[in-house]
Structure 1
Amino acid sequence: MDTIIKNGTIITASETYPADLGIAGGKIVCIGRDLSDGAAEVVDAAGKYVLPGAIDGHVHLETPVGSFISADDYQSGPRAAACGGVTTVFDFAVQGKGQGLVEAVAARISAFKAQSCIDFSFHTAITDLTPRILDEFEESVAFGVPSFKLYMVYKDLMVDDGVLAEALERSVATGALVAVHAENPAIIERRTARLLAEGKTGAWHHYESRPEFVEAEAIKRAIHLAKAFNAPLYIVHLACAEGLAEVTKARDEGYAIYAETCPQYLHFTNEVYQRPDGRNFVCSPPIKGAESRAALWEGIRRGDIMTVATDHCPFQSFEKDYGKDDFTKIPNGCMGIENFYPYLLSAANQGRISFHKAVEVCATNPAKIFGCAPQKGTIAVGSDADIVVYDPAKHFVISQANMRSRVDYTIWEGVELQGYPALTFSRGRLVYRDGEFLGEPGWGNFVKCRGRNPRL
């Protein structure tokens, strides 16, 4: 064995037990008591929890957004992720007009591979669905990218309901998974025009341009179409109580509807948009009210929200300031790639959810839904040795000064966590230890995912 992690308490989505963990060739090769190998490096995890590395299933690294590019690149984003216990990230390859699905992904793999210190995969954002692209669903699934995102909003990216219906229907036959950003663009456009005409230009009015019902209506519409074809549907960054209620209803009826939420929706409320730095919190869908925040936590506990991911798409403060006098000019996006696993684990440490649930929504469920389990997302013999050794006793205060992102601020400034990752291993390699980044650009591998498994 190369490494033995001894004396820790292993926690998966379903089990908690004391055991040693043996690692060789990047894989978990044995789990047991009193493991020994004179050639192995021994890591003492006494008093600590040994967890699967998290999977951030929703990041936007080095991504053009209007006239801006998201601040974290393929090196700084994975670096920050590793320091927060994330061992795999899913970025988005945005299809250009006339571009093939595999072509769109292949263009990003080599650049990502050269810079990332952890493993990575992709979803493809479809913007030009032609008959040829429908035929290419099967090829993309075989290539290892079986998940496709469709935007129901943003003029330069969005698709209409007819396109969404065609994609859902084709996904059933090919084992693909369709994901949607669900908001109603026509309502947003008219509300925005009215607000600007009334001189209402601050960050609060970003929320007022697209409040709860704007997201909920689009979620209901997308679920209705998914039901029509009995197609699975993944709803990204769900933020509102009414939309979640529709997810619960559909799941209770037996449909394969998966919902993701983000840590910013679990911690903050729309009151942040009235702060002097409110523009830093501008993202879409916007952060909603306290009723929605409470519903999201209940949705996690109940199992109707199956994943937590970050939608990590940060911009520098001076870029956010570009919209200080016009909320429509604020680049949309928040940071969280280094914070989301520690945040959910801290919630577990304080009894808000169980540690099993934190592992489930941050690691195990993403691996199952996106088709990379059991290689990723769990602790089991044969799985990749993507491991976090977590210190439940460590008190940690988030600050821009102790984050590894390239961004010059964090919306998480001053948030206190009980417990924090002490070590992160990527395929058996130590990439983070007690505040020190030890990873190397180019270590990360592209993770080929499989087409849809039976419903969870």
Structure 2
Amino acid sequence: MDLLIKNGTVVTADESFIADIAVENGKIACIGQNLSVDAKQTVDAAGKLVLPGAIDAHTHLAMPFGGTVSADGYLAGTRAAACGGVTTVFDYPMQKKGMGIMEIIEARKAMCDPEACVDYAFHCIITDLNGGALLDEFQAAVDNGITSFKCFLVYKKEGMMVDDATLIKVLLKAKEVGAITNIHAENPDVIDMNIEKFLKEGKTSAWYHYLSRPEFVEAEADKRAVHWAKSVGAPLYIVHMADKEGLEAAIAAKLEGHDIYVETCPQYLEFTCDVYKREDGRNFVCSPPMKGEESREALWDAIKTGLIDTVATDHCPFQSYEKDWGKDDFTKIPNGCAGVENLYPYMLSAAGAGKITWSRAVALCATNPAKIFGCTQKGSLAPGKDADIVVYDPKKDFTISVSNMHSDYDHTIWEGKTLHGYPVQTYVRGRLVYDNGAFVGQPGYGEFVKRAPKI
């Protein structure tokens, strides 16, 4: 065997038990107590948890937005992922009008392949159906392992939004070929109306970013997306859910038996809209914005009851000087915050505090995204699966600071947050990539994950 991790408490989405894990050729060979095998390397994980590597199903690496590009490219973003126990990241390549799906994907793979430190997959953002021709490419995309597409119901002026007819066409075609449609749900017309009003009134601080897109602005679009998905019987994945009313609509559809999935993010679980009143409020600007305490509590309730399916990050950081472009005009603030290195530690710390179970944290961050998005070799610890493994010390205290993160950004909204428990090792397909605070992986080691279609 190449690797033997002994005496740890193995945590799955369903149970926890003390066992050894043997790894050979990048795969989990066997799991059992007191395994008697010869291994090139043996790790004693006594007193620690042994977890499947997390899957961050929502990142924007090297993404052009707001007149700049997100601070983390593929090297920095995946390096940070490794150091937070994330072994697979999903990125969102953006279609420019007239481009084909595989053209977009191949261009991004060419960027990612030499830099990726962990494994990676893509959701493709659809902005233009190219007169309907793009729909004919969906099957080829699925055949090549691209089994999810994203539509924006916002960013109309930026040319990223799709109308309802386009959304329905995407939903139907995705359903036909075994793919799933991801939705960013906010109402653009109401946002633009609010922005125009606030700017005329000289109300330009970060607080008005929130007031321009409050709870009901997201909720309306959530409800509309759910309505169309239910009406045409197509699967729907709502990204970065942040509001109570929209969450309730998605949960109701889910409980009725519709194929609706809900993602939220750590920033919506930790912060409220009050952050936008802070002097550094612009650093917290993302879309949708953090909402009120009632929404934050509703999200946690749904996390605890299993009605939220995944937690991902929407990782899209910008440098502080770029955020400062909007110091006196919130519309000029690049939207996005850091999170990929904080995802698993944050949710596991919540489990350690008794807010959720260890198994629920694993389900939200690893097993569920693997199942939803067809990552058949990822998301769980079982013989034959990729040896994506995190060794986690539940007693290790860690205070987040930009100085101990592994990204290329110069600030973090998580500055000063103390977590009880932290990853001490991360393995990607059996190779150690993070060890006690240090990145020890290799750019280019990460592989493209070809995903299975929904059946």
Structure 1-normalised TM-score? Answer: 0.98
From 367, 371, 391, the counterpart of 1:368 = 371
Matched, 1:26 2:29: no
Aligned to 1:449: 451
Q: Given that residues 387 and 429 in structure 2 are in contact (C-alpha distance below 8 angstroms), is that contact kept between their aligned partners in structure 1?
A: yes
Aligned to 1:263: 266
Give secondary structure in 1 for the equivalent of 2:113: helix
Aligned to 2:136: 135
Aligned to 1:229: 232
How many residues are matched? 452
130-139 vs 81-90, which deviates more?
130-139
Give 1:205's aligned amino acid. Answer: Y
Residues 282-337 of structure 1 show CA distances to partners (whole Å, capped at 9, x for unaligned) of: 00000001100000011111222100000000000000000000000000000000
Q: How large is the Cα RMSD of the aligned pairs? A: 0.7
Aligned to 1:77: 77
Give secondary structure in 2 for the equivalent of 1:314: coil
Aligned pairs (5 A) from 1:96-245:
96-129=96-129, 130-155=131-156, 156-245=159-248
Q: Given that residues 8 and 44 in structure 2 are in contact (C-alpha distance below 8 angstroms), is that contact kept between their aligned partners in structure 1?
A: yes
Give secondary structure in 2 for the equivalent of 1:419: strand
From 298, 311, 314, the counterpart of 1:311 = 314
Structure 2-normalised TM-score? Answer: 0.98
Give 1:387's aligned amino acid. Answer: I
Distance 1:363 1:17 in 2: 18
Give secondary structure in 2 for the equivalent of 1:421: strand
Aligned pairs (5 A) from 1:299-448:
299-373=302-376, 375-448=377-450
Shift of 1:135: 1.2
Distance 1:39 1:232 in 2: 44
Give 1:33's aligned amino acid. Answer: Q
Shift of 1:360: 0.3
Distance 2:427 2:415 in 1: 26
Distance 1:95 1:273 in 2: 31
Shift of 1:39: 4.1
Give 1:296's aligned amino acid. Answer: L
Give secondary structure in 2 for the equivalent of 1:75: helix
Distance 1:94 1:197 in 2: 32
Residues 139-191 of structure 1 show CA distances to partners (whole Å, capped at 9, x for unaligned) of: 11111001000000012200001100111111221111001100000000001
Shift of 1:37: 3.2
Distance 1:29 1:412 in 2: 38
Give secondary structure in 2 for the equivalent of 1:162: helix
Give 2:98's aligned amino acid. Answer: G
Q: Given that residues 4 and 39 in structure 2 are in contact (C-alpha distance below 8 angstroms), is that contact kept between their aligned partners in structure 1?
A: no
Superposition misfits of 4+ residues, deviation over 4 angstroms: none
Give secondary structure in 2 for the equivalent of 1:93: coil
Residues 206-248 of structure 1 show CA distances to partners (whole Å, capped at 9, x for unaligned) of: 0000000000000000110001111000000000000100011
Residues 257-276 of structure 1 show CA distances to partners (whole Å, capped at 9, x for unaligned) of: 00100000000010100000
Distance 2:317 2:66 in 1: 13
Aligned to 1:11: 11
Q: Given that residues 4 and 36 in structure 1 are in contact (C-alpha distance below 8 angstroms), is that contact kept between their aligned partners in structure 2?
A: no
Shift of 1:65: 0.2
Give secondary structure in 2 for the equivalent of 1:260: strand
Shift of 1:107: 0.7
Distance 2:384 2:390 in 1: 17
Distance 2:97 2:321 in 1: 31
Residues 94-129 of structure 1 show CA distances to partners (whole Å, capped at 9, x for unaligned) of: 111111111110111121010011000100000111
Give secondary structure in 2 for the equivalent of 1:136: helix
Shift of 1:338: 0.3
Give secondary structure in 2 for the equivalent of 1:110: helix
222-231 vs 94-103, which deviates more?
94-103
Matched, 1:92 2:95: no
Distance 2:292 2:172 in 1: 35
Shift of 1:352: 0.3
User: Unmatched 5+ residue regions in structure 2?
Assistant: none
User: Unmatched 5+ residue regions in structure 1?
Assistant: none
Aligned to 2:53: 53
Q: Identity, % of aligned pairs?
A: 60
